[in-house]
Copies of this chain bind each other. A is one copy, B any other.
Amino acid sequence: MDQGLGGLTLRAVADAASVTKGGLLHHFPSKQALIEAVFQDLLQKLDEQIDRSMNEDDRERGSFTRAYIDAFFEVTSEGTESPWAALSISCMTDPHLRTLWSDWMQKRIERHAETDDHPDLKIARYAADGIWLANLTETNGLPPKELAALRTQLKNLTK
């Protein structure tokens, strides 16, 4: 989070996993492979959470957008500690992660074109991204009360 992917060392990862560097590289052929594996794992979890969220939503229109917003705010509340923080930041500096994310998003958008293709919904999603970003930029994150207010405001936009 503080030094980007360049600051992430295999030794640090290995230590955190109580393994030696050699052991770590046995499972992941390279640093890049390791990073992408973690990223893919997180993307999958995001998918699952969004699907779960959508199932609990009665309204048709904007159901994906609401799930998207909820997912982001849930993660946002964890602040800088969340693995999402580091990964999403890295997503900017690594071209390959960038396309992975971009592809994920595009597929999801196409899939929900029927219910979520509306300018207002788009704005709501972008705003969620912006809030998420601001929360990372701010040293201690945005105040929880503020976050809650923004969340309901955004979700109202989707109705």
Contact = CB atoms under 8 A, between A and B. Distances in A.
Interface of A: 1-7, 89-95, 98-99, 101-102, 105, 119, 122-131, 133-134, 136-139, 149-150, 153-154, 157
Q: Which of A93, A101, A136 counts the most chain B CB atoms within 10 A?
A: A93
Contact of A4 (B6, B124, B133, B139): B6
A93 B130 contact: no
Main DSSP-derived SS at the A contact region? helix
A102 to B, nearest CB: 5
Given A4-B93, A92-B136, A98-B139, A126 B131 contact: yes
Contacts of A153: 119, 123
